[in-house]
Structure 1
Amino acid sequence: MVADRSLMKGAVYGVCAGLCWGVIFLGAELTPGLSGLQLAVLRFLCYGAISAVLLMRRWRRVCTPLTLEDWKSLFWLSLIGNLIYYSLVGTGVQWVGIATTSLIVGLIPVLVTLAGRHDANAVPLRKLFPSLCCAMGGVVLISWHALSSDDGLNTLTNLFGILCAFGALVTWSWFAVSNARRLIKVTRVSSHDWALLTGIMTGAQSLLLAVPVLGFQGSQHGLAEWLDFLWVAGGVALLSSVVGGACWNQASRLLPLALSGQVLVIETLAALVFGFLWEHRLPDGHELSAIALLLTGVVWCLNVHRAPQRSSTA
């Protein structure tokens, strides 16, 4: 019974994280004047500033239990899972659209599940094969749909966007697995404080990139434009990075790795809903088919894992 409550609580935290993260795809559409890297730097500067303010009074107490290995982990998690990942997401959205980017990134639950197949409560790969085929089929379909254009230049643009989306898929899958395993070892730091420490580290990295990435673009945009960019970046930082990051860290501690990635399908669904609302349209036939295949794969994968979990709980 205690294990069931823990799983339910972890699932709720994971769903909340997915809903918060759905807006990151929309953020790139709201800032067409910035590149993916520029938006990432601006967002994580805001994330770092918010995190520093929230952690300022407790800085010494929170940092005391951390080891050099923990700080190294924070550095790489921040660089790969935040800066590089969101630069790729933003570029993918601007080049190939929210629907295609979010559906490709929607394979994260599958990759995380594969990474955790040797952990506790994992199931054999042969039982996961049908769900993997469904999820991959959805991604192949949406990628083919994006590339099936008569315009050669547009096809190259879409191809570049798809490659960025796959890069985002790989980088955040690595982050999800590495962060979950590090949180198991960092027991004296809360999930919320770990998210704030990640924010401070990412903010410091963004500060080093601010001048070369943003400084030389200052004259290209007026004050009103920069204020709009700052509002969007600050909103995404607060909702997705601070709130979403804390929820995800808590979910990572409560759920087995094989299950934690499955709730991220909520991020894909939220991103698709936000994207279609922003574009004032309904999904076309290819997009609906891809969504159905991806959801079928993820739900199938989740159901396969539920039986071993129930047996372990019993």
Structure 2
Amino acid sequence: MHAFFKHPRAIGVGFAVLATFCWGLNFIVPYVPGRYSVFDFLAIRFMVVGALGIAWGFSQRAAIRGLAWPLRRLGLALGAIGYFGYALCTACAIELSGPVLMPAFVAAVPVLLALLGNTPTKMLAWRTLLFPLSLLAGGLLLITLRGNNSSVADPHTFAVGVVFSLVAVALWLSFSVLNQNALGKIPARSTGGWTALMMAGSALCMLVLMPLGYALRLFKLPCLGASYDNAGSLYAWAIVIALFSSVFGAWAWNMACRYLPLVLSGQLIALESMFATLLCLAFEKRLPRVHETLAITAVLTGTTLAIRLLWATNEAGGQR
């Protein structure tokens, strides 16, 4: 057993599991505020993320000064899109449509990214992807239709949750593509400063939108009280999730990528969806329903097969 954990692949898988578990904590946000609202939680969380980003940015100020102003603005904007916007839409989607739909949509993100990469090169014929994409689409369709029929909430509420899920996926895809393109223009030594800019940008976006949230009476902190005696649990959860999702998760994933080939790390990203579903169901204190089990299994299987085909083909093409 000791020798097993010395193997580079085993170390990489361990880091990948840790990273995806950390990211899965993002999905329990609707379950932890208690008497407070999701928006109270997100406000505190991104205050923590912003403080961490400013501190990190100060330590990386030389690297940040080396970035052109357009890149600095893009870094801040990506934080608003991929950190704050994605977290907000994810929390709203889970609160409105339950614990399985949003994680199932997230499982499709690695496939969509790989498909975007395959579109211009067409290294893999689309008919080769018919089976895994059918599994993926069938799982998403099943959880959407059955979730709508079996939901205790109003069908219109569930439909709004589906919209939030789709917007969250769109935001994450946009973030991934723009970030990948920007990283090609940024020196390796500036990566830390780049991440700090995104963390600060997420907090800035939250601060800009706070007056609107206050006007819409989305916050309960003003009336329930912001003292530690009243909101101590809210603060604790906000700090834990901010640290794990924004710091430890990114660190563990970067470590995993040092030990694992792209085709394997891409498949392991799908674990985020599994952890998210299990964590949400644990907070609801129930087992998955039959249709939920079938749907998430189909989605994860289709995702794994599609990524294997796309990225294995990409690696083979790069070796020619």
Same fold (TM over 0.5): yes
Structure 1: unaligned runs, 5 residues or longer: none
For 1:81, the aligned partner's letter is G
CA–CA distance in structure 2, aligned partners of residues 259 and 118 of structure 1: 21
Q: What amino acid does structure 1 have at the position aligned with 2:83?
A: N
Deviation (angstroms), 1:80: 1.4
> What amino acid does structure 2 have at the position aligned with 1:73?
L
Checking the alignment, whether the CA contact within 8 Å between 2:110 and 2:307 is kept in structure 1 is no
- For 2:125, the equivalent position in structure 1 comes to 124
Distance of aligned partners of 1:76 and 1:212 in 2 relative to their CA distance in 1, 3 Å threshold: same
SS of the residue aligned with 1:303? Answer: helix
Q: 1:259 to 1:106 in 2, by over 3 A?
A: same
Aligned-partner Cα distance in 1 for 2:121–2:298 = 27
- CA–CA distance in structure 2, aligned partners of residues 244 and 85 of structure 1: 16
Q: Which residue of 2 aligns with 1:244?
A: 249
- RMSD (CA atoms): 3.3
Partner of 2:63: 62
Aligned-partner residue type, residue 173 of structure 2: S
Cα distance between partner residues in 1 of 2:185 and 2:9: 20
Q: Deviations over 1:51-101 (max 9, x none)?
A: 222343x24212122112211321321121122211111111111122222
Secondary structure of 1:161's counterpart equals: helix
Q: Report how far residue 142 of structure 1 moved.
A: 0.6
What is the identity percentage for the equivalent residue pairs of Structure 1 and Structure 2?
A: 26
Find the aligned partners of 1:303 and 1:79 in 2 and give their Cα distance: 31
The CA distance in 2 between the partners of 1:43 and 1:34, in whole Å, is: 13
Q: Under a length normalisation based on structure 2, what TM-score does the superposition of the two structures give?
A: 0.82
TM-score after normalising by structure 1: 0.84
- The SS at the match of 2:286 is coil
User: How do 1:1-314 and structure 2 match up within 5 A?
Assistant: 15-56=17-58, 58-118=59-119, 123-149=124-150, 154-189=154-189, 191-213=191-213, 217=219, 218-222=221-225, 223=227, 224-248=229-253, 262-304=267-309, 305-310=311-316, 312-313=318-319
**1:203 to 1:150, Cα distance in 2 relative to 1, 3 A:** closer
What is the alpha-carbon distance in structure 2 between the residues aligned to residue 85 and residue 33 of structure 1?
Answer: 23
Distance, in Å, in 1 between the alignment partners of 2:284 and 2:97 is: 13
Mind listing any 5+ residue stretches in structure 2 that lack a counterpart? Answer: 1-6
Matched residue pairs, number?
Answer: 308
**Contact 1:48–1:202, Cα closer than 8 Å, also in 2:** yes
Partners of 1:178 and 1:249 in 2: CA distance = 18
**Kept after mapping to 2: 8 A contact 1:78/1:201:** yes
Q: SS at the partner of 1:148?
A: helix
Relative to structure 2, which stretch is displaced further, 251-260 or 70-79?
251-260
Tell me whether 193-202 or 23-32 shows the greater mean CA deviation.
193-202
Q: Check 1:256–1:132 CA distance in 2 against 1; reply closer, same or farther (3 A cut).
A: farther
Q: What is the identity, as a one-letter code, of the residue corresponding to 1:126?
A: R
The answer to whether the 8 Å contact 1:116/1:122 transfers is no
Structure 2 CA distance, aligned partners of 1:67 and 1:255?
A: 33
Mapped partners of 1:298, 1:192: distance in 2: 31
